[in-house]
Amino acid sequence: MNDIDLMTKIVSLCKRRGFVFQSSEIYGGLKSAYDYGPLGVELKRNIAAAWWRSMVYEREDVVGIDASIIMHPKVWETSGHVSGFSDPLVDCLNCKERFRGDKAPKADPGTETTYLKGGKSGGEKLKGVVGPRGYVCPVCGSSDLSEERQFNGMFRTTLGPVDPLDEFFREIKGKDLSERDMRGVYEEALKRSLVYLRPETAQAMFVQFLNVQQSSSMKIPFGIAQQGKSFRNEIVVEHFIFRSCEFEQMEMEFFVEPGTHVEWLQYWTNERMNWYRKYANKGEAFRLRQHEKNELAHYSDDCYDIEYLYPWGWGELEGVASRTDYDLKRHGAATGTKLSYFDQNKVDPETGKNGWRYVPYVIEPAAGLTRSVLAFILDAYSEERGVDASGQEKVRVLLKLHPSIAPIKAAVLPLVKKDGQPEKAAAIAKELRLAGLNVTCDEQQSIGKRYAKHDEIGTPFCITVDPQTIEDNTVTVRFRDTAEQVRMPIAECVEMVIKSVRHPN
């Protein structure tokens, strides 16, 4: 199966089975946004819960918050996002594609290029030379490119009942202003109500550092975790849910004593890598990549990406960054708040006296939740070739999701819709539901088709109710990954399913 085939199959499965739909599809769809269907929402919530469990519930030193998406606009000025959260936007003058210069295919300056006019097959062959910026158009390979323009990726909107356009028109009425002056008036009018949709969840953890530390009496080292929506006006949205404009993140800011940050960075990269591998089938498809010095963000002194081997190659899944004391210092200075920590048991290295007040350093594991949904689906997707009873070749498609994150934990399947079987199936399902499991009773179609459907959506167990069940309270359990079928008493089956869907340690 080639890589394009695999993505096509995944996108089709996601739609057909109700994992992910195009946003507003019946209106022609919105390219940069997706809706999670009945199975997708379960998978996404289960991955989020697995992260929360490992980052918050299993630890004494991390607590969570749920901050608002709209924050004071000054937060984004202080953090550097207003001036610096931009990507180089380039237009291909040949095929008109718009793309990010920093992500375009690299080529040595001065290298000769050949490409088709307008990027159209059968078009005239043109020649060019790679410019000093060292890249070509990702679509047609042309070196005939526009200048780079910095494009800020934050979504802007206004807060409150006043429309800045009304104010703008009021202010320019009767005045003969140049375009530049008019723009200035508009920016001023906008500024009064301008807010941003957050492009990351992280800043709330810095801004609420003191409130959380004091209200929960946290002692350094400690972390604040958050999950939620983030918004980036991406120049290019790509690879299905890999890069969209509205997406979800799972981030944690871990505050440490200066000087211990190198060790903590190692600790968190290992923790996070192990977390993915615990839930994955193919651990080797996850790797760590240390950032080159020239890749580091201005606030970071070291950073690792956890990368996944997507069908189009290695790409980021999570960044684990050492953010120094940059954020707390900046927000502290901008607001006149002491965003620092006093450790009475430590000696101040500068004065040599007991008691040390310092601005903590920060280690940040920043993961994409929606990107993780894609990675776990890709990791779980598997095709098994075999022959059916009539000798016909057939393909069994299955999602080998870890049972703890699978959308449906068990499907209870009465063989027929009569003879007390549906009632028995409902009773078994009820018992599993009472244990907190998402299960389904499925009576439609032949038993073979039902098995195939549940393989494809990742249900780890199919529990079949048949005439013998009515007689002796035993069921047949079919295991998704092996297709093996085992007969066992209902009580044993319920216990086995509950045990098997536990999170890995």
Q: Which residues contribute to the site for ligand ATP (CB under 6 A)?
A: 200, 232, 234, 243-244, 247, 249, 316-319, 366-368, 370-371
Q: Where are the beta strands (DSSP E) in 359-460?
A: 361-368, 381-387, 393-399, 410-414, 439-441
346 touches 356 (CB < 8 A): yes
- Least distance between ligand ATP and beta carbon 281 (Å): 20
- Least distance between ligand ATP and beta carbon 381 (Å): 19
What SS3 state is found at 413?
A: strand
- Least distance between ligand ATP and beta carbon 79 (Å): 12
Q: Which is nearer to ligand ATP, 252 or 501 (CB)?
A: 252
364 touches 254 (CB < 8 A): yes
Structure tokens belonging to residue 286: 């996850």
- Least distance between ligand ATP and beta carbon 478 (Å): 35
198: nearest Cα among 116, 76, 101 = 76
Q: Which is nearer to ligand ATP, 220 or 378 (CB)?
A: 378
Measured at CB, which residue is nearest to ligand ATP?
368
475 touches 431 (CB < 8 A): no
- Least distance between ligand ATP and beta carbon 321 (Å): 7
| Helix intervals (H) in 54-121 | 73-79, 81-84
| CA–CA separation, 14 and 39 (whole Å) | 9
Q: Which is nearer to ligand ATP, 251 or 431 (CB)?
A: 251
- Least distance between ligand ATP and beta carbon 237 (Å): 7
Q: Which is nearer to ligand ATP, 341 or 376 (CB)?
A: 376
Q: Which is nearer to ligand ATP, 300 or 474 (CB)?
A: 300
- Least distance between ligand ATP and beta carbon 369 (Å): 8
Q: Give long-range contacts, CB 8 A cutoff, 24+ apart: 227-230.
A: 227/48, 227/51, 227/52, 227/66, 227/201, 227/251, 227/369, 228/66, 228/67, 228/69, 228/201, 229/69, 229/198, 230/197, 230/198, 230/199, 230/200, 230/201
Q: Which is nearer to ligand ATP, 32 or 469 (CB)?
A: 32
257: nearest Cα among 365, 366, 363, 364 = 363
| CA–CA separation, 361 and 299 (whole Å) | 11
Q: Which is nearer to ligand ATP, 175 or 293 (CB)?
A: 293
Q: Which is nearer to ligand ATP, 123 or 311 (CB)?
A: 311
| CA–CA separation, 110 and 230 (whole Å) | 40
- Least distance between ligand ATP and beta carbon 291 (Å): 10
What SS3 state is found at 113?
A: strand
Please give the radius of gyration of the chain, using alpha carbons only, rounded to the nearest integer. 28
- Least distance between ligand ATP and beta carbon 241 (Å): 7
Q: Which is nearer to ligand ATP, 117 or 291 (CB)?
A: 291
Distances (CA, A) of 436 to 57, 172, 408: 18, 62, 12
- Sequence-distant (≥ 6) Cβ neighbours of residue 111 within 8 angstroms: 129, 130
